[in-house]
Structure 1
Amino acid sequence: MLSDNHGDPGSQLADTRLPSLQALRCFEAAARLENFSRAATELHLTHGAVSRAVRLLEDELGVALFERRSQRVFLTQAGATLARAVGGGLEMMRQAVGELRTSARKGRRWVLSCEPTLLMRWLIPRWPDFQARHAALDVHLVAGGGPFSFGSGIDLAIRRDDFPWPDGYHAEPLFAEQVGPVCRPDQRASWFATHKGSAALRPGAPCLHARTRPGAWQEWATAAGQPLPGAKGQSFEHFYFSLQAAVAGLGVAIGPWQLVRDDLASGVLVAPLGFVEDGSRYCLLSPQPLHPGSPQADLLAWLRAMG
């Protein structure tokens, strides 16, 4: 006795069985792009593999899905009918998979690595706003600068593009770096001269430096078209300490706008020469592009709004 798998080829069971998903994916891409080579590139297959899959699908269905003319392909009426159905079905599958992934990720903890000074002086003061807007997301903030690996437990990272990133890292720009000399308001007259409404750094003004960003003054001078100050000043281990030294009145520091904007707003610091873009920018780095509606995309939108 034959099993149910060997039913009459003309029966309803035989008519409703589906071809392989790989064959349908090859057909859908070829139909949408009307080009087997581009379909192969999109699917990371060879032209021959896509062509064979479509040919086998045509043999299985018993109809021609494409007209092949002069190295181009055109959908037949039967092909257009199948393309609409397969395209709609694959899109429904993509949406369902995306929703499941988003749902699964909402319950996990995300680790966001951020450059230490940006973390302390910009991100943490604004973080309560993010938590209020996205209470369901559990994001753990860690301090880290320079090169890193996503394989070390980091899911996302905020970095300035002052070092090369590995191939495959996805970068979403956040904001351009703007820098300028800053000091305490009560020291402005001592360290900056004003002539006809234009301010300039006095030659003897003490300039503060940091070992973690040794080129800060040179980068500002180049971007602003100003001479590099020659006065010696104290040097600190970390960039954050040089900014705190400026707050304490020890000298003039190079202050990136995002890192000193709160001190400027409160009157703790002043920027007599304003700010100029130094050609660098901060980016949100991820191991792959961010999907719309995902927790990472929500974080990106918030970061850009805060910038």
Structure 2
Amino acid sequence: MSSDMGGELDSQSNGSRLPSLLALRCFEAAARLENFSRAADELHLTHGAVSRAVRLLEEDLGIVLFERRNRRVFLNEAGRKLARAVGNGLGLMRQACGELRASTRLARPLTLSCEPTLLMRWLIPRWGEFQASQSGQEIHLLAGGGPFTFEAGIDLAIRRDDFSWPADYHVDPLFAERVGPVCRADKVEQWFDAQGLLADAPQLHTRTRPGAWAEWAAAAGRVAQGGPGQTFEHFYFSLQAAVAGLGVAIGPWHLVCDDIESGLLVAPLGFVEDGSRYCLFSPCVPGAESLHGQLLAWLREMGRG
């Protein structure tokens, strides 16, 4: 006697089988951003890895999820349906993980990730004051910039809001970014006049913020001018080069305020807001009396200086 029950069970199992979680995560980020490159940056993957994951997901489901036009991608109806479901599912998982992490935070220090130059030049010199206000509670500082994920062991992150992040991240603005050209005091007459920066003044650039000079010029209503200069790997190096008298760097206020106060640097043209902000990112809204809430209040107070 034969039966096709096993075949029906196998068919049902195959039909309800979930695709790989990695493929779904790649799809969710690509769907939310409608951009494979930005999704790759957010997930710390290559563009090719995200593209392959989405293609394999489409092959697995037997349906196209994106319309591809003029080197851009747009969700179709099927893609929007799956994006809603995957987004809701990942949101529930993030919420559950956040709650579980919160239940164990008393047993371990919080980890705060901060952009490296802000960490070195602004946060660490002031950190002792915050530590002194705490009683037995510890925060571990970690240098890191750009997109990140709380699944990587980060509890809180300070970032400039110049990238995309998941919709369920909680974001608290800290202070606006104010920028201006800075140099050593004894170089001002050589590199500036009454109209501004001289054309032959050496400009210091950085690969981590290559558009800093153009962004400052746009914010200040000045014409961007190219002159002789050097490019450094990190923002911190360009500021140290300015301290050493090698040229003029674009200095965000919070990164150079201590050097200006001490007289190491001057800002002949002052500072202007460039439209970006530093923010504290977290997986949930902070309680006012929690360590997270106290840190937020202290960062905002320090940022007013």
Q: Give unpaired runs (5+ residues) of structure 1.
A: 1-100
TM-score, L = length of structure 1: 0.64
CA-CA distance at 1:105 after TM superposition: 4.0
1:176–1:280 Cα contact (<8 Å) kept: yes
Conservation of the 8 A alpha-carbon contact between 1:170 and 1:288? yes
Q: Secondary structure at the match of 2:112?
A: strand
Measured after TM superposition, the shift of residue 104 of structure 1 is 6.6
Q: Which residue in the other structure is 1:250 paired with?
A: 246
The alignment partner of 1:234 has SS state of: strand
Where do residues 234-249 of structure 1 align in structure 2 (5 Å cutoff)?
234-249=230-245
Structure 1 or 2, whichever has the larger Rg, is 1
The question of 1:207 aligning with 2:220 is answered: no
Identity of aligned residues (%): 67
- Aligned with 1:222 (options 213, 218, 225): 218
SS at match of 1:284: strand
Contact persistence 1:177–1:277 (CA under 8 A): yes
Indicate the SS of the match to 2:113.
Answer: strand
Instruction: Tell me the equivalent position of 1:158.
Output: 158
Judge conservation of contact 1:171–1:284 (CA < 8 Å) in 2. yes
Q: CA deviation at 1:301?
A: 0.5
In 1, distance between residues paired with 2:162 and 2:155?
20
Q: 1:185-217: CA deviations, max 9, x gaps?
A: 0001000002xxxx5101110100000000000
Q: Kindly report structure 1 stretches of 4+ aligned residues shifted beyond 3 Å.
A: 101-107
Q: What is the CA-CA distance between 1:140 and the residue it aligns to? A: 0.4
AA of the residue aligned to 2:159: R
- The count of corresponding residues between Structure 1 and Structure 2 is 203
The equivalent residue for 1:189 is: 189
User: Residue type matched to 1:127 in 2?
Assistant: W
Q: Name the CA shift for 1:236/1:200 in 2 (closer, same or farther; >3 Å).
A: same
The residue correspondences of 1:1-307 to structure 2 (distance < 5 A) are 105-194=105-194, 199-307=195-303
Inter-partner Cα distance in structure 2 for 1:184 and 1:191: 10
1:84-124 deviation line (CA, Å, top 9, x unaligned): xxxxxxxxxxxxxxxxx999744531000000000000000
The 1-side partners of 2:257 and 2:174 are apart by 16
Q: Which runs of 5+ in 2 are unaligned?
A: 1-100
1:151-180 Cα deviation digits (max 9, x unpaired):
000000000000011120100000000000
1:102–1:294 CA contact under 8 A, matched in 2: no
CA displacement at 1:137 relative to structure 2: 1.5
Q: What's the Cα RMSD here?
A: 1.5
Q: Which amino acid aligns with 2:262?
A: S
Deviations 1:4-31 (A, max 9, x none): xxxxxxxxxxxxxxxxxxxxxxxxxxxx
